[in-house]
Amino acid sequence: MKSKVIVMVVLLGVVLSFAFLVMPKVVPHKSTAERKVKVNRKPKKVTRAPERKFDIEIVRVEESGALSRIITARLINKDVYAKNVVVTLELFVDGDRIKVNGKDKLVIKVGDMEPNSSVEKKVEISVGFFDGLRIKSKGYVDAKLTISWNGGREVFKKRIRV
């Protein structure tokens, strides 16, 4: 039982920190022999994914119960003034929602944030006993973290193996 609790601590810490490092997809280049040479073609327009306006850092994870942890995280606004910032965490296994703190999603109200500022929040996160067993038996949980503000929102999704 204690090993399951430790796995949940690590899992929940990773869930909050997962999506803030976005890796670009690496595609191998074709060799010269594989490429077709075209004359008078227009250059392709290169589009990049929009840069993230927020980052999150996990500051600390503390045990507060058998299936719960207190997580201290820092939200960093890398862009312009953001009003009414709200962070939402949702967990899924096989497309089925896992309750966080007994609710469908964990909603953390941050408030207004100045450009290039950060806010540190401490939240307690817990999952039910059977949901914890389900995550352990499947070996993964799908996490969805949404940062919303009056002017946009960013969604991060990640499958976390346990």
Residues 50, 46: Cα–Cα separation, whole Å: 12
Going along the chain from its start, the domains and CATH numbers come out as 2-22+49-161 (2.60.40.10)
86 vs 65, which has greater pLDDT?
A: 86
pLDDT tens readout for residues 62-82 = 888 777 778 788 899 998 899
Q: Give, for 10, the enclosing helix (H) or strand (E).
A: helix 2-17
Token pair in block for residue 116: 């290039």
pTM of the model: 0.65
pLDDT tens readout for residues 24-77 = 333 444 444 444 544 555 555 555 657 889 988 878 878 887 777 787 888 999
